[in-house]
Structure 1
Amino acid sequence: MSSGKIKVMVVDDSAVVRQVVSEVLSKDPGIEIIAVASDPIFAMSRMEKQWPDVILLDIEMPRMDGISFLAKIMAERPTPVVICSSLAESNSETMQRALAAGAVEIITKPKVGLKGFLHESAKVMIDAVKAAGQARLRTGARPLRPAKPVQVSPKLSADAVISAGQALGGVKTTEVIIAIGTSTGGTQALEAVLTKLPRVTPGIVIVQHMPEKFTEAFAQRLDSLCEINVREARNQDRVLPGQALIAPGGKHMLVKRNGAQFHVEVVDGPLVNRHRPSVDVLFRSVAKCAGPSALGIIMTGMGDDGARGLLEMRHAGGQTLGQDEQSCVVFGMPKEAIKLGAVEKTVSLEGIPAAIADFQRRSSSI
């Protein structure tokens, strides 16, 4: 028995995927593959003998599709599930259903060149499994053993996209802005927050770590549930009250100021903190152009993206909040921001809408 390792089951109808994924994940000393299965029916029989800590799951499979299997797991014994599917590229609506059913991470895989892609994406896959292994499901799942600290290679900071020069937003404007950054567990957390906000809410800009071609459908789903308007950001969109703009997957989003008005720039650029879009890039841009006219909120997610940018927001006079540990799926991002002194106050997920309303009231009274 391997003490402290994350026990993983791989469920995919492709023998190549099962073999390569198992090889890739097994190279990490903190991960153990305990079983593979070609479809959910075989998986259920294996799980009667040993239950995994994390399940890596395809969507299209014989006898039972992945989303039906996911829903069954969450109803019977909630377990962190990472979706690894080519449908993430071609059918983002299906991926929305997977997230709604309880998936904690999404990995896209191409329909061609699969073996090479899986080897090239080894780090992404290992990080996704470790994030899932740390996830605290809010549906009564048993606590998992914490994963060993992730060993990461040197990473680019927000300097790669936006300079660390003096902030330009020291003067308070007539408009205020709210910037939110999140990752693992963020899709459900954002839904919980945004659906509670009234239409009169200040303009919101959001970075949610998400695969390319996926954020548009995510924004559309939120838009159908919320009083405020929610959509994927386009270059030069104005940040308007009653609207939330979500950074497109695969692009960085920055906020710029023109007089008293804010707008976004959607740009290419290198990975920052191993992410594109990066929360640090968004937060630093808000610090520079909005200063005391901004509220920054860092929510559930693995890693430290956003911590330095939130600190810059606080130094520029903005208000800063971090989601508390109890309500996070993964406490990594808020924890790192707290360590840096970037967070003025921690709040529960349920308390974030009220904190936004309080920011709005205080801003309008100044």
Structure 2
Amino acid sequence: MDKIKVLIVDDSKLIRDILTSLLSSDARIQVVGTAEDPYDARQKIKDLNPDVLTLDVEMPKMNGVAFLKNLMRLRPMPVVMISTLTSEGSQITMQALELGAIDFVAKPNDLSRIMGEYSQEIISKVITAAGVSQQKLTAIQQKLTQPEAPEPVKPLSTQAAISADSNAKPAKKIIAIGGSTGSLEALRELLVAVNFTGKEAIVVALHLPGRFTESYAKRLDGQLPCVVKEAQHGEPIREGHIYIAPGGQHLEVRKRAFGFENVITDEAPVNLHRPSVEVLFDSVAKHGEGNAIAMILTGMGKDGSEALARVRSAGMRTFAQNEASSVVWGMPGAAVNEFNAVAPADVLDLQGLASAVSKFGR
């Protein structure tokens, strides 16, 4: 089988050398070149025809987002962003994912991690990105070449906005959502399409490190008619709120006399992830008592797929994003085909999932 050809774009020679070394350590990958800035990269893409690009977020001359936007409009290809764990870096990375980047890897603060877990993370994400179909890349291109819609403005006069404050009622029903690769943008598209009533309470687990969840929650909060925030340990789950699992920590829901509460833990990773979708869904299976639904979105691997089956066995309805709309149909595919966790009629595109959320929240 042909090796995956990778072009590394980063203004730091040290990072270029490190990425070249660790990616070349995998027999499935060939680093065909490196570039120190987008202008250098533009010519090398033409000359080397890489399968995957790793792209630094913050670079001189042109930042990674501006370059990515041009690239995905003119020559769509799988891109994995290399981002710093800073507030600014995380915000730019969110923009990059909206523009079609397949995934991102956070640069480690501790260089001793480079050849350990970091190595395996970036190798797996590059391999996953290489498997994204041309059909999905073309869909991204078509979306970017359409006239830009105005940035959504958070409504202030809806029932949801009025009820979504510290005095909001405890939620009687919850919607649990989990995902990984491609799910940040998928979740945003899903939620923007929901007809919110103000009674919804949504808990979310995505595979994100610290700092990124704060930026992501703030971005969603500005686009939706409800409160979106990082979940905090012991807080009651209220109507009109969306709670995002903090990066690097597990999120569970627990039944209490007044309704439900969030539980945040630092326990060991599950399925190699923390937060883990498996942990969230298992807590729903245990404490949902028929007052919850669960959805699994695009993502590589199987995290949450088996636990989704336990939610269904506990008598609650489950959903999965369909293959056609998923960037990677690993997690939802395993839920559907391996664990029989979802009824065939509930394998839906993002609009279908949004409709299910709207109906459950009434």
Normalised by the shorter chain, which TM-score bucket? 0.7 to 0.9
Check whether the contact 1:256–1:262 (CA below 8 A) recurs between aligned residues.
yes
Alignment pair present for 1:185 and 2:186: no
Aligned to 2:80: 82
Deviation, 1:327, is 0.4
How many Å separate the matches in 2 of 1:91 and 1:37?
20
Find the counterpart in structure 1 of residue 6 from structure 2: 8
2:115 is aligned, of 109, 115, 119, to: 119
Q: Find the counterpart in structure 2 of residue 342 from structure 1.
A: 341
Paired AA for residue 38 in structure 1: E
Provide Cα deviations, 1:149-185, integer angstroms capped at 9, x if missing partner: xxxxxxxxxxxxxxxxxxxxxxxx9811110001111
Shift of 1:288: 0.3
Letter in 2 for 1:180: I
Which secondary structure does the structure 2 equivalent of 1:190 belong to? helix
Indicate if the aligned counterparts of 1:92 and 1:213 stay in contact, CA closer than 8 A: yes
Equivalent-residue separation in structure 2 for 1:263 and 1:135 (angstroms): 38
SS of residue paired to 2:126:
helix
**Contact 1:201–1:357 (CA<8 Å) still a contact in 2?**
no
TM-score normalized with structure 2 length: 0.85
**Corresponding residue of 1:330:** 328
Equivalent residue number for residue 46 of structure 1: 44
- CA distance, structure 2, for counterparts of residue 199 and residue 230 of structure 1: 15
Cα distance between partner residues in 2 of 1:141 and 1:316: 37
Equivalences for residues 237-248 of structure 1 within 5 A: 237-248=235-246
Percent of paired sites with the same residue: 39
Residue 271 of structure 1 corresponds to 269
Q: 2:219 aligns with which of 210, 218, 221?
A: 221
- Moved runs in structure 1, 4+ residues, more than 6 A? none
Which one of 294, 318, 321 corresponds to residue 320 of structure 1?
A: 318
Does the 8 Å contact 1:234/1:266 carry over to 2? yes
CA contact (8 A) 2:199 2:239 kept: yes
Residues in 2 aligned to 1:13 and 1:91: alpha-carbon distance in whole angstroms:
15
Distance in 2, matches of 1:81 and 1:88, equals 20
**2:282–2:311 CA contact under 8 A, matched in 1:** yes
Q: CA separation in 1, counterparts of 2:228 and 2:191?
A: 9
Deviation at 1:61, TM superposition (A): 2.1
Shift in Å at residue 90 of structure 1? 5.9
Unaligned runs of 5+ in 1: 143-172, 362-366
Helix, strand or coil at the partner of 1:119:
coil
Secondary structure in 1 matching 2:357: helix
For residues 54-133 of structure 1, the aligned pairs below 5 Å read: 54-88=52-86, 91-110=89-108, 113-114=110-111, 116-120=112-116, 121-133=118-130
CA distance in 1, matches of 2:24, 2:171: 55
Indicate the SS of the match to 1:238: coil
2:267 & 2:360 partners in 1: Cα distance? 32
Shift of residue 141 of structure 1?
6.0
| Alpha-carbon contact 1:88-1:108 (below 8 Å) kept | no
Displacement of 1:200 after TM fit?
2.6
Between the aligned partners of 2:193 and 2:325, the Cα distance in structure 1 is: 16
Consecutive unaligned residues of structure 2, counting only runs of 5 or more, are 141-169
Deviation at 1:359, TM superposition (A): 3.2
Aligned residues: 328
CA contact (8 A) 1:182 1:209 kept: yes
Task: Quote how far apart the aligned CAs of 1:228 are.
Answer: 2.3
SS in 2 for 1:226: coil
Give the Å deviation of 1:117.
3.0
Contact 1:211 1:250 in 2 (8 A): yes
Aligned-pair CA distance for 1:89: 6.4
Q: 1:87 to 1:285 in 2, by over 3 A?
A: closer
Per-residue deviation, residues 106-127 of structure 1 (Å, max 9, x unmatched): 211145x53x332121111111
The letter for the 2-side match of 1:211 is P
CA distance in 2, matches of 1:360, 1:23: 50
1: CA distance, partners of 2:96 / 2:191:
20
Q: 8 Å contact 2:171–2:237 — kept in the other structure?
A: no
Which whole-Å CA distance do the structure 1 matches of 2:113 and 2:47 have between them?
32
Partner of 1:290: 288
Code of the residue aligned with 2:172 in structure 1: it is E
- Cα distance in 2, alignment partners of residues 199 and 91 from structure 1: 34
